[in-house]
Amino acid sequence: MKKGLSNFFENYLTKNPLFINKKALQGNFTPENIPHRDEQIKQLANILAPALRLEKPSNVFCYGKSGTGKTCVTDYVTSQVYDLSKKKKIDLKICYLNCKLKKIADTEYRLIAELARNFNVEVPATGLPTEEVYKIFVKAIDTKGKKLLILILDEIDQLVSKVGDGVLYNLTRINSGLKNCELSIIGISNDLLFTDNLDPRIKSSLSEEELVFPPYNAIQLQDILRERSKIAFRANVVEEGVIQKCAAYAAREHGDARRALELLRVAGELAERSGSEIIQIRHIDGAEEKIEKDTVLDVVRTQPKQSQVTLYSILKVCNNGKQIFTGDVYDFYKNICKDVGLKPLTQRRISDIIAELDMFGIINARVVSKGRYGRTKEISIGIPSSTMPKIEETLQEGLGL
């Protein structure tokens, strides 16, 4: 046994790896070359350029579906501006925050606290008035010497839908209280209609400039994939047609480049694992399935206990495939809670949790009226049945059932 394993590792090491730089296919990689986004880069550069003369750049708003390069372009441009400002000895600070991150920046208090932490000020997780945290933050940035601050708020729509637009109002208003520092905001949103239901005052001050990121089409995705695969893989390991297929698949999903890249990466990993010398088209099919499974599993695993119990109840009740409703789930949920030793939440809360699970896409919940038999959410499973056993297993493990 031992011998066999060492053979295996030896084998593994002597084999030529397919990847040379896997990072190039990972989410947070910023390439030196962003195809088909020249227009946006130019615009954003124009908008931010005044920063290099120590003038406050306009606030910007970036729209576009996920995986259309919003984060990538802003990261690319801002880091260039930053580098240049260093050379010119301009005091410029760039702050990136993803508002979607739970427990980090998903409320007004936490957002400002996190910003303050970026300036090396300790802020307690709770206990202070939000007003106070603003003061701490302002004090931290408004130190001696003229300086600029560019604040990038990613997935800003998530924040606003949760806590309202008062946060943005306060942020835009902060500038008037600053003596030495000026604050520009770059908002990034996946939701194209986001600003429609924003207070007009906030809307006008926040989106002085707007950048739209249209989805990539299949041809453009191919360019992106080629570019990146050149960095990521050894030469000639990608079979003809693989790139096309990846691109086609992602183009179907509103031109999400992130998905295309992930698909290619996972296909590469699968190929490598199966000992194949090249990445073939069949690996993409495997990758597609694996990604689906992994992301769902990951979401499930990182859910809080109560959500997990709720999901488990839904899976169990739904087992025989028929339509199910909130009441059924809640009854079952209460029983499970007893088994697990968890305090059952009220139905009100479960209703919200079901809505959250729906947002994640794990289940589909639709409010239906059943005439005089009342009104409820009709729930069905939103994932392929092949991944169900795995999810159930994960849940049981997580809940100690």
Partner DNA sequence: CACCGTTCAGTTGAACTAAGCAACGGAATTCGG
Partner DNA sequence: GAATTCCGTTGCTTAGTTCAACTGAACGGTGGA
Binding site for DNA (CB under 7 A): 103, 107-110, 124-130, 304, 306, 325-328, 330, 343-349, 351, 354-355, 367, 369-377
Identity of the residue, 128 or 281, whose beta carbon is nearer to DNA in the bound complex: 128
Identity of the residue, 38 or 131, whose beta carbon is nearer to DNA in the bound complex: 131
Identity of the residue, 92 or 365, whose beta carbon is nearer to DNA in the bound complex: 365
From the list 285, 269, 261, the residue with the least C-alpha distance to 237 is: 269
Identity of the residue, 124 or 321, whose beta carbon is nearer to DNA in the bound complex: 124
Let me know: does 395 contact 328? Beta carbons within 8 Å: no
Least distance CB 368 / DNA (angstroms): 8
Say how far apart CA 34 and CA 30 lie, in whole Å: 8
Identity of the residue, 81 or 112, whose beta carbon is nearer to DNA in the bound complex: 112
Kindly list the distances between the CA atom of residue 299 and the CA atoms of 187, 292, 304, 395, in Å, as whole numbers in the listed order: 25, 11, 10, 11
Instruction: Name the helix (H) or strand (E) containing 328.
Output: helix 326-340
Least distance CB 71 / DNA (angstroms): 24
Say how far apart CA 66 and CA 255 lie, in whole Å: 9
Write down the number of H helices and E strands in the chain. Answer: 16, 8
Kindly list the distances between the CA atom of residue 289 and the CA atoms of 275, 334, 384, 391, in Å, as whole numbers in the listed order: 19, 34, 10, 14
Q: Considering Cα of 176, then 181, then 183, then 184, what sign does the dihedral take? A: positive
Residues 6+ apart with CB under 8 A from 231: 20, 21, 24, 31
Identity of the residue, 216 or 312, whose beta carbon is nearer to DNA in the bound complex: 312
Least distance CB 78 / DNA (angstroms): 27
Least distance CB 136 / DNA (angstroms): 9
Least distance CB 401 / DNA (angstroms): 20
Kindly list the distances between the CA atom of residue 186 and the CA atoms of 208, 235, 271, 358, in Å, as whole numbers in the listed order: 10, 38, 40, 29
Identity of the residue, 129 or 145, whose beta carbon is nearer to DNA in the bound complex: 129
Identity of the residue, 31 or 304, whose beta carbon is nearer to DNA in the bound complex: 304
Least distance CB 352 / DNA (angstroms): 7
Instruction: Name the helix (H) or strand (E) containing 153.
Output: strand 147-154
Least distance CB 114 / DNA (angstroms): 10
Say how far apart CA 400 and CA 306 lie, in whole Å: 13
Least distance CB 110 / DNA (angstroms): 5
From the list 326, 334, 400, 336, the residue with the least C-alpha distance to 363 is: 326
